[in-house]
Amino acid sequence: MARFTKIDVLSTMQLTGMVPVFYNADLEVAKQVVKACYEGGVRAFEFTNRGDFAHEIFGSLNKWATKECPDMILGVGSVVDAPTAALYIQLGANFIVGPLFNPEIAKVCNRRAIPYTPGCGSVSEIGFAQEAGCDLVKIFPAGNVGGPSFVKNIKAPMPWSMIMATGAVEPEEENLTAWFKAGVTVVGMGSKLFPKEAIAQGDWKAISDKCRYALDIIANVKK
């Protein structure tokens, strides 16, 4: 069962403006990454469903985070079908994210008051997702569907839209400024926050620093 309410989840994402996106088959590595992000100011974290037994890793990670990072909101990404969403919700996922829009996932999440953020690549897909109760929609892959200009053009006729951009997002001032000036609510960021060399060397401070740097940029842009 989710520890955080739907309102808490969406409010936290809107307030901080960034959700790290990460997967690793090693539970201990996943713990260290979550802890590093937490210490860097992150309060919503997406663990992606991208490997065999990923749900087992997530279940253990979520139990650990409850004690070690009590204010961290853990959710799951790369979910494409309703049974997988239900499995992760049973393991305590606080939100579900996917690369595509599946209305069956929306039904499962709505029944349990869990935010569902589906991937959308067109204005029509965004509209269908909103009709299904998706408060926050993800444009994906953000860099390929039009970048910041796509967001700006959506917000003009549909200003109520809450948008997450994932893909082509980097922890750099120029990049983040462009996305937030265009009108995104939050960005999802993966590999750019987690350099392979930092993971390999166990340089968790480098990850904390990157998170802190990105969050500072976002906070300044949103002022």
DSSP 148-181: HHHHHHHHTT-TT-EEEEESS--SSHHHHHHHHH
Report the CATH number at residue 212.
3.20.20.70
Confidence label for 38 from pLDDT (cuts 50, 70 and 90): very high
Q: Is residue 189 part of a domain?
A: yes
Domain assignment present for 1: no
Peptide bond into 141 cis (omega under 30): yes
Within a domain: 132: yes
Q: What whole-number distance in Å separates Cα of residue 88 and Cα of residue 111?
A: 14
Average pLDDT, the chain: 97
Cα–Cα nearest to 47, from 73, 69, 15: 73
Task: List pLDDT tens digits, range 79-122.
Answer: 999 999 999 999 999 999 999 999 999 999 999 999 999 999 99
User: Rounded mean pLDDT of 181-201?
Assistant: 95
pLDDT at residue number 37: 98
What pLDDT was estimated at residue 1?
Answer: 87
- State both tokens at 6: 């739907």
Selection from 192, 204, 193, 134 nearest residue 164 by Cα: 134
Q: What's the structural domain count of the chain?
A: 1
**Residue 47 pLDDT > 90, yes or no?**
yes
Q: How much is the average pLDDT of 30-46?
A: 98
222 inside domain:
no
- One-letter amino acid at 212 equals R
Within a domain: 31? yes
- Determine the average pLDDT of the residues in 182-209: 96
Task: Give, in order, the Cα–Cα distances in Å from 134 to each of 120, 203, 217.
Answer: 11, 37, 27
3-state SS, residue 58: helix
pLDDT digits (tens, 9 = 90+) for 1-12: 899 999 999 999
The closest of 194, 119, 201 to 163, measured between CA atoms, is: 119
Q: Indicate if the pLDDT at residue 223 is higher than 90.
A: no
1 vs 92: CA distance, rounded Å: 5
Whether 194 is in a domain gets the answer: yes
Q: Check pLDDT > 90 for residue 213.
A: yes
Over pLDDT 70: what percentage of the chain? 100
Cα 67 to its chain centre, rounded Å, is 21
Q: How confident is the model at residue 34 (pLDDT cuts 50, 70, 90)?
A: very high
Here the tokens at position 38 are 């937490």
φ and ψ at 177, to 5 degrees?
-60, -45
How confident is the model at residue 75, as a pLDDT?
98
Put simply, whether the predicted model's pTM sits higher than 0.95 gets the answer yes
Residues 32-56, mean pLDDT to the nearest whole number = 97
Residue 135 has pLDDT above 90, yes or no: yes
Domain assignment of residue 138, given as a range: 6-216
